[in-house]
Amino acid sequence: MMGSRTIHDIPCTVEIEQTPDSLQANVSLEGHEPGPGDKVIVHGAPTHIGFGERGVFHCRATLIHAGPLARQATRLLSYLELTELYEIGFSAGSAS
């Protein structure tokens, strides 16, 4: 079917860090790679970590693969948004 989506329930690793040098969260899915238009829902990961802490958590995620039409639409929209970055204006100014 043209609009069908595939759904996977998979294990994942979530790394969260909140230190003076870094504020980040990364999710690694085991055995699957999300593509354009795909959605990832992480279940059971903490939403907060104390300042100065770093944690690695093993939990589950739901990966919802986009259908062919949604995947193509996402590619097109991302291309159009990227081309907006090319619209850079320069104005004459004086160097003091």
pTM exceeding 0.85? no
pLDDT at site 29: 94
Q: pLDDT tens digits, the chain, 96 residues: what are they?
A: 445 678 999 999 999 999 999 999 999 999 998 989 999 999 999 888 899 999 999 999 999 999 889 889 989 988 887 777 776 655 566 555
Q: How many helices (H) and strands (E) does the chain have?
A: 1, 4
pLDDT at site 53: 93
Instruction: State phi, psi for 89 to the nearest 5 degrees.
Output: -105, 145
Q: Which residues contact 2 (CB under 8 A, 6 or more apart)?
A: 67, 68, 69
Q: Cα(80)–Cα(83) distance, rounded to whole angstroms?
A: 5
Quick check: helix, strand or coil at residue 73? Answer: helix
Q: Cα(62)–Cα(67) distance, rounded to whole angstroms?
A: 16
